[in-house]
Amino acid sequence: MPSHIAYRLMMVQPSALSCRRRIGQGRESKDFYNDHRVKIPDLSLIHEQLMELVETQRMFRRRLEKEQIKHLVEVEWSRIFSRFDYVFLTVFQVLNLVVLLLFLRFAWSPTPAIREHLV
């Protein structure tokens, strides 16, 4: 995410989505559900398959969250750089106006007399 200095320098407020803290990761101990007293082998096999499915879903969710965070970072930096572009566009246009005013001021002034050659 852009730093607070970048936000202040470009006079941009951070968006609400970028400031939101993530609540609850949902991480639990793997040994919490392990019951070694199970006498039915099929139940143990189903349990292992479900735990693998849960772990793949967690990995998929983490990957999606990382992609969303990357997207949010890109959006925030694009906001900063668009403001940066507007600032420099304004500066460039002001300089163009100054040059135009200087040109118009001296455009119709009389030309200085040309001296004769000193040969």
Taking alpha carbons only, the member of 76, 103, 95, 86 closest to residue 17 is 76
Full-model pTM: 0.53
Measure the CA–CA gap between 64 and 58, rounded to whole angstroms. Answer: 10
Q: What is the pLDDT of residues 89-117, one digit of tens each?
A: 999 999 999 999 999 998 888 887 888 87
Q: Is 71 domain-assigned?
A: yes
Domain count, the chain: 1
Per-residue model confidence (pLDDT) at position 23: 46
- pLDDT digit string, tens, across residues 18-60: 544 544 455 555 555 555 555 677 888 899 999 999 999 999 9
Q: Is position 96 within any domain?
A: yes
Please report whether residue 114 resides in a domain. Answer: no
Question: Phi and psi for 19 in degrees, rounded to 5?
Answer: -95, -10
